[in-house]
Amino acid sequence: MPVFSLTANLCYIVNAQNEVLLQFKQKGFGQGKWNGPGGKKKPGESILQSVKREVKEETGLEVENLKKIAELEFVFDGKEEWNQLVHVYKTNDFRGELAPSEEGELKWFKLADMPYDLMWEDDVYWLKDALVGKYARRRFYFDEQAKLKNHQVI
């Protein structure tokens, strides 16, 4: 069993046009990739509190009625501090105005037009199914350059 250095979250917000909000990371972990808003859980926070805080900080939106759609484990060769357990949520219940943060650009994508070639390599294995209701529980193994080596259903 891998050791996880951190617990994190992702949130996929879906609008009335069935588009998914993604963020193009400008800095930090995942820089140069599209991903759902999210981040690390702070000490004393529940995972749901951390999801709501991260979404608000990164998008300006307030989210409710979060549905857990995946639990993902990420294991990195030679970079144990990057190992993480990520709780993934989806919601259609949001309010507020989009307000991009220094984290990166925000953009709505149709499910058929998700930019998988500019996302983490693991996303192609679980995200599409999870967004349409198929719960995902996976472990992904990455090499020292954060390239996907293999994965397994857990």
pLDDT, tens digit, 9 for 90 and up, residues 24-59: 999 888 899 999 999 999 999 999 999 999 999 999
Q: What is the pLDDT of residues 83-140, one digit of tens each?
A: 999 999 999 999 999 998 988 999 999 999 999 999 999 999 999 999 999 999 999 9
- Is there a contact between 38 and 23 (Cβ–Cβ < 8 Å)? no
Confidence grade of residue 64 (pLDDT, cut at 50, 70, 90): very high
Contacts 24+ apart (CB under 8 A), 28-35: 28/103, 29/82, 30/120, 32/118, 33/118, 33/119, 33/120, 34/107, 34/109, 34/115, 34/118, 34/119, 35/10, 35/119, 35/120, 35/123
Give which of 7, 10, 120, 24 is closest to 54, Cα–Cα: 10
CA pair distance 94, 134, nearest whole angstrom: 22
Q: Which domains does the chain have, with CATH numbers?
A: 6-153 (3.90.79.10)
For the residues 131-150, what does the mean pLDDT come to? 95
pLDDT value of position 3: 82
pLDDT value of position 122: 97
Beta bridge partners of 50: none
Global confidence as pTM = 0.95
Is 80 exceeded by the pLDDT of residue 1? no
Residue type at 145 in one-letter notation: Q
